[in-house]
Amino acid sequence: MNNKYLYSAVFAVAIAAGTYFAIGRNSTPGGTGFDLAAQAQSAEEVDTSSIEEMSLGDENAPVTVIEYASFTCPHCANFHATAFKKLKENYIDTGKVHFIYREIYFDKPGLWAGMVARCAGPMRYFGISDAIYTEQSEWLASRELAGIHGDLRKLALKSGLDGDQVDACLADADKAQAMYALFLKNAEADDISSTPSFIIDGEKYTNMAYEKFAEILDEKLAE
């Protein structure tokens, strides 16, 4: 199945005792009021230029790593709590790797989390993202969409965002539409079907431990 329509169909991924919440083809993330099925069919027509690519490290680094991840994915949270910290210290901060993070939206909470992470702009994006991953089990704990929405808002406030600012971010239908369209375009282009997935200098890889990641990076750097 074409990934564009696969992502718009119902996801029933049973990970971490059902912490994923499926998106129906006609659901409306965050009450923003756009139709996901229609969005999938017209993604190419949506202007996504306002959605900034989130990255770390030297743009001219010899190796580029793109991570595709969902904020509701427990494997992604584990990756960011373990391997990513070492990758940042040893490869990104040292100028060896340019790291690009791209959000995948398997569910409504994942899209909401992405909207919260972007709310304070690119300078704070990775700090808020880290908080979202660190507290993933807490803000997903209720397993009810209304409760998750409220808990994400609380997390944003605890991270220093203003309440009115957070509410405006979560209610921004145009931004949600553009984010979703960009997700579809990127995931389709790189044939992404699971998270976390990585594109390392054009080659796709699935989730791996830090040691394997470092081995691949060292081989790329030696070329």
Q: Which run of H or of E encompasses 101?
A: strand 97-103
The total number of structural domains that make up the chain: 1
Q: Residues 48-61: what's their mean pLDDT? A: 96
Residue type, 153: R
Q: Please check the confidence at residue 73 and state whether its pLDDT lies above 80.
A: yes
Residue 195: closest CA among 66, 65, 76: 76
Mind listing the pLDDT tens digit for each residue in 99-123?
999 999 988 899 999 999 999 999 9
Cross-strand bridge partners of residue 69: 103
Containing structural domain, residue 15:
3-222
Mind listing the pLDDT tens digit for each residue in 167-192?
999 999 889 989 998 999 999 899 99
HSE-up of 181 (CA within 13 Å, CB side)?
A: 21
Mind listing the pLDDT tens digit for each residue in 128-159?
999 999 999 999 998 788 899 999 999 999 99
What CATH number does residue 32 fall under?
3.40.30.10
Q: Please check the confidence at residue 1 and state whether its pLDDT lies above 80.
A: no
Residue with the larger pLDDT of the pair 26 and 211: 211
Specify the pLDDT at position 144: 87
Where helices occur in 68-209 by DSSP H, the ranges are: 74-81, 83-87, 108-117, 122-134, 136-139, 145-158, 163-170, 173-189
Mind listing the pLDDT tens digit for each residue in 26-49?
333 333 333 444 445 456 678 899
Instruction: Give the span between the Cα atoms of 158 and 12, in whole angstroms.
Output: 31
Instruction: Give the span between the Cα atoms of 6 and 141, in whole angstroms.
Output: 27
37-67 per-residue burial string, b: 16 or more CB within 10 A, e: under 16:
eebbeebeebebeebeebbbbeeebebbbbb
Do 109 and 140 form a contact (C-beta atoms < 8 A)?
Answer: yes
The lowest-confidence range among 70-74, 84-88, 97-101, 139-143 is: 139-143
